[in-house]
Amino acid sequence: MSDQIDSLRTKLEKFASAGGDAIGDRAAMEAFLELRLLLEAGAVRAAEPDPAAATGWHVNAWVKKGILLGFRLGQLKSFGADLSFVDKDTFPARHFTPDQGIRIVAGGSAVRAGAYLARGVIAVPPMYVNTGAYVDEGTLIDSHALVGSCAQIGKRVHLSAAAQVGGVLEPVNASPVILEDDVLVGGNCGIYEGTIVRSRAVLAAGAVLTRGTPVYDVVRGEVLRADGEKPLIIPEGAVVVPGARAVTKGKGREWGLSVYTPVILKYRDEKTELSLALEDLLR
């Protein structure tokens, strides 16, 4: 398999660098379709765990290049009879069978071709998983939740209603959003711009994480920020809630204003575990 992937990587990087010249090239389309199948099987990923990397994750830029190549090669095409939509013909909606062990409830959900869903994933309508995403075993994607392009979702993650996991295709070397195993994301949360949420962390409803928003850890007395190529990283087991910090200058101070900021209020303990016991009943 490694030789096959190395060969595919070489071909995709060649066709990606060819720009518009790759359009109409049969070999380029065959290489993209091979990548799409490998993505759907979970055999290749846009990012993967790497203990040697500073963040614990390695970005596979060539995979993103291959996905972008698919958009370049694709032509608009009508799909479906009962559900009518028009998209690039290289990225139709995926089809599933009972033997795959994935439960997708009827009602407007879609998984775009090139996304991987492991056995035991539950998708509650309406929800959407974009191409290049990786969703591991036992994860629940609740209604109105979004898993963006190339996002990496671990095992037993719960994405509550209206949770938004941002995607990133460009720049190709940028880290996608990563949620490690057993993360709980509350309703209406947003995780964007390459943020990494370590295993067992809990994001309370309404928490929003971006590169530009500092996170105040009142337990350890630290302020967490993205720095250069390093993304914002939420520590393992952290419980993050929406908070506010006072504006200390100018009219903001005069008017007593404050701005939003996430706050790590505690780390998971036995009480937190008891409050999450309902998760097992939902699966």
Asked whether residue 9 is domain-assigned, the answer is yes
What is residue 234's predicted lDDT score, i.e. its pLDDT?
98
Q: Which pLDDT band, with edges at 50, 70 and 90, does 281 fall under?
A: very low
Matching residue, tokens 């949420």: 197
What is residue 162's predicted lDDT score, i.e. its pLDDT?
97
- Beta strand 152-153 pairing with 110-111: unpaired
Q: Which residues form the domain of 24?
A: 2-73
Q: Is 50 left (phi over 0), alpha (psi -120 to 50) or beta?
A: beta
* Tens-digit pLDDT profile for residues 123-176: 999 999 999 999 999 999 999 999 999 999 999 999 999 999 998 888 888 889
User: Nearest 10 degrees: CA dihedral of 150, 156, 158, 163?
Assistant: 0
Number of domains in the chain: 1
Half-sphere exposure of 173 (CA within 13 A, CB side): 2
Rg (CA), the chain: 20
Average pLDDT on 235-248 reads 95
Q: Which pLDDT band, with edges at 50, 70 and 90, does 280 fall under?
A: low
142 CB-near residues (< 8 Å, 6+ apart)? 124, 127, 158, 159, 160, 161, 163, 187
Asked whether residue 272 is domain-assigned, the answer is no
* 0.85 surpassed by pTM: yes
Matching residue, tokens 């939509």: 85
Dihedral of alpha carbons 69, 211, 194, 204, sign: negative
Asked whether residue 274 is domain-assigned, the answer is no
What CATH number should be reported for the domain holding residue 13? 1.10.166.10
- Beta strand 222-224 pairing with 215-217: antiparallel
Asked whether residue 19 is domain-assigned, the answer is yes
Asked whether residue 222 is domain-assigned, the answer is no
Is residue 81 pLDDT above 90, yes or no? Answer: no
222 CB-near residues (< 8 Å, 6+ apart)? none
* Tens-digit pLDDT profile for residues 175-222: 899 999 999 999 999 999 999 999 999 999 999 999 999 999 999 999
Is residue 30 pLDDT above 70, yes or no? Answer: yes
Bridge partner list, 216 = 223, 263
Asked whether residue 92 is domain-assigned, the answer is no
Mean pLDDT of the chain: 92
Dist CA 215 CA 222 (whole Å): 8
What is residue 117's predicted lDDT score, i.e. its pLDDT?
97
Asked whether residue 90 is domain-assigned, the answer is no
Nearest to 215 by CA among 239, 181, 193, 184: 239
CA distances from 247 to 151, 224, 260 (A): 34, 19, 10
Asked whether residue 67 is domain-assigned, the answer is yes
User: In the chain, pLDDT over 90 holds for what percent of residues?
Assistant: 77
